[in-house]
Structure 1
């Protein structure tokens, strides 16, 4: 890999970016590379950079990769890949909706790419979905280029709001059956780490849940070596706000790790595989690609290392004492 051929990274596109967009360069082997830690990188081969843009808040790119198909990258961090994003989004959306006795209204914090809304709208009993993303450019970019989600963006049940999710929740009088945190990972200097704090959960989010309401959030890497970065902290923070908190995990190949989600409610969760399968058949239009009753129940069982960390975690997210994920990404064109 040649340093002179670097195309973009977390802090912006370099002066060499035009190389990748030239016809000659597109015919050469290119690579996307993301820093997972100071001494660990994750890279995969590209066909091309399809599109890129810059908003008031962040940089956006759509990569055509050889292994994972189209990949959405924001601020140099991979958000989802065409080949396996269904794992992340099915795990984020369907467990809380299937655990709720009769969900009709959903509020999505973030979710600008449209995949979370797409999964919610598979539920026949849903009457209204509010998707609130702070970045108009991200929404417009994804609505244009992520063709799999275009139907969701124009669905009559979707209420799309471009606003800070915290302010939108504070100002709305209505309550919701399910609130979803489809947010970027907490990054130092990023726009959304405050939406992982105890004060936000306690003072803003929880009062906007209906009786028997459920909150779910993505909770970052949850592997044996990575779960202490933010996963255990998010879990512990929610334990300080809700009576019942349930963590669960799944391997997402394009993330190069096991990923975590956390559900929280003041009502107990009925974790029954047969019940989940019955509700999938009854409520969902079409077929899920990843999740069924047995896989969901198994996802709630942690290995010994992660289980002990969740049990013993003491850190609570506050505005003054947050934990952040490391890293950013960049693309290279291979030298001949």
Structure 2
């Protein structure tokens, strides 16, 4: 990856490698739909480059702190990434009776591993990301995750998650899908398909194993993009599937996750709170038993869509999230 900075002005590109005047106001702009954009002011563009697989940028924003952007899509923001990562990681680990081993698909920024390693029972975490450049980038710039990256329990693998799971004999208590959104032409949409879940992922779960994946935007106006399809696809593979949501301010939307297992989920607020106290080091900032239970209750519109969804993800019939982002000079 190069150190070139590419900034856009309202009149066009200022030029790759040109150094903007950061005393002026710059903005990051992400297209959510053809007629909808999400933008916020920048202090600076800390880094922008391209790996073999993806465009990568680290932005210093005025409102959300440091923001990681991959392929023009917001991945996490310094001020509220704990919401996304606590919701991704802790529900499956708290529902599992005694989680010891976890496999992360993706997760190159290290935040999912950080949250997993807070569980005292964890003995081994395998983090498999396809992009060495992203991992190196995050290890260098996202200082909040340095302790996780240096943990002896973390085994970092650079590989395609499907190939890595296929090539491993071991099974895991929990498998986490900390993947980029399914974007057309992106590297990971096949990891949301029924054939992958059924033939590759599920056989790698131990008895009572749990799979969880991020599942895209889940708002009233956005949940049909991919969230309902991912939920329905997993229902064709696992006996018990549970969707839950939370509002993530920097994503400008409600976000969705889906857990799946062949064992029923025991979601009792008192029990969950007890397990947090017993199992997790430090204090969770967002999640507790009551909020976890409430997050599984959908509003009427989203609930009805989940119940009526018929689309199943396949390699030939995938759904994709629209959008890309850019930084420009105001």
TM-score range, shorter chain: over 0.9
SS of equivalent residue, structure 1 residue 211: strand
Q: Over residues 7-60 of structure 1, what are the superposed CA-to-partner deviations in whole Å (9 max), with x where a residue is unaligned?
A: xxxxxxxx62434x34xx111100000000000000000000011221000111
Report the Cα distance in structure 2 between the residues aligned to 1:107 and 1:266, rounded to whole angstroms: 18
Partner of 2:261: 265
Partner of 1:165: 161
Report the Cα distance in structure 2 between the residues aligned to 1:114 and 1:174, rounded to whole angstroms: 22
Partner of 2:4: none
Mapping 1:34-53, distance limit 5 Å = 34-53=30-49
Report the Cα distance in structure 2 between the residues aligned to 1:152 and 1:59, rounded to whole angstroms: 24
Report the Cα distance in structure 1 between the residues aligned to 2:169 and 2:78, rounded to whole angstroms: 36
Q: Over residues 128-158 of structure 1, what are the superposed CA-to-partner deviations in whole Å (9 max), with x where a residue is unaligned?
A: 0000000000000000000000110110100
Report the Cα distance in structure 1 between the residues aligned to 2:125 and 2:17, rounded to whole angstroms: 40
Does residue 1:18 correspond to 2:17, yes or no? yes
Q: CA deviation at 1:2?
A: 3.8
Partner of 2:11: 4
Does residue 1:137 correspond to 2:136, yes or no? no
Does residue 1:180 correspond to 2:176, yes or no? yes
Q: 2:107 aligns with which of 111, 118, 122?
A: 111
SS of equivalent residue, structure 1 residue 26: coil
Judge conservation of contact 1:4–1:16 (CA < 8 Å) in 2. Answer: no
Report the Cα distance in structure 2 between the residues aligned to 1:313 and 1:3, rounded to whole angstroms: 41
Q: Over residues 88-116 of structure 1, what are the superposed CA-to-partner deviations in whole Å (9 max), with x where a residue is unaligned?
A: 00000000000000000000000000000
Partner of 1:291: 287
Unaligned runs of 5+ in 1: 7-14
Partner of 2:203: 207
SS of equivalent residue, structure 2 residue 238: coil
Judge conservation of contact 1:251–1:259 (CA < 8 Å) in 2. Answer: yes
SS of equivalent residue, structure 1 residue 112: coil
Q: Over residues 174-232 of structure 1, what are the superposed CA-to-partner deviations in whole Å (9 max), with x where a residue is unaligned?
A: 00000000000001111100000000000000000000000000000000000000000
Unaligned runs of 5+ in 2: 1-7
SS of equivalent residue, structure 1 residue 18: coil
Report the Cα distance in structure 2 between the residues aligned to 1:333 and 1:5, rounded to whole angstroms: 9
TM-score, with structure 1 as normaliser = 0.95
Report the Cα distance in structure 1 between the residues aligned to 2:35 and 2:275, rounded to whole angstroms: 45
SS of equivalent residue, structure 2 residue 271: helix
Report the Cα distance in structure 2 between the residues aligned to 1:233 and 1:32, rounded to whole angstroms: 30
Partner of 1:216: 212
Matched residues, number: 323
Partner of 2:304: 308
Report the Cα distance in structure 1 between the residues aligned to 2:81 and 2:322, rounded to whole angstroms: 22
Q: Over residues 60-87 of structure 1, what are the superposed CA-to-partner deviations in whole Å (9 max), with x where a residue is unaligned?
A: 1100000000000011111000000000
SS of equivalent residue, structure 2 residue 202: helix
> How large is the RMSD of aligned CA atoms in angstroms?
1.0
Partner of 1:320: 316
Judge conservation of contact 1:90–1:291 (CA < 8 Å) in 2. Answer: yes
SS of equivalent residue, structure 1 residue 298: helix
Q: CA deviation at 1:3?
A: 2.7
Which structure 1 residue ranges, 4+ long, deviate > 6 Å from structure 2?
Answer: none
Judge conservation of contact 1:31–1:333 (CA < 8 Å) in 2. Answer: yes
SS of equivalent residue, structure 1 residue 142: helix
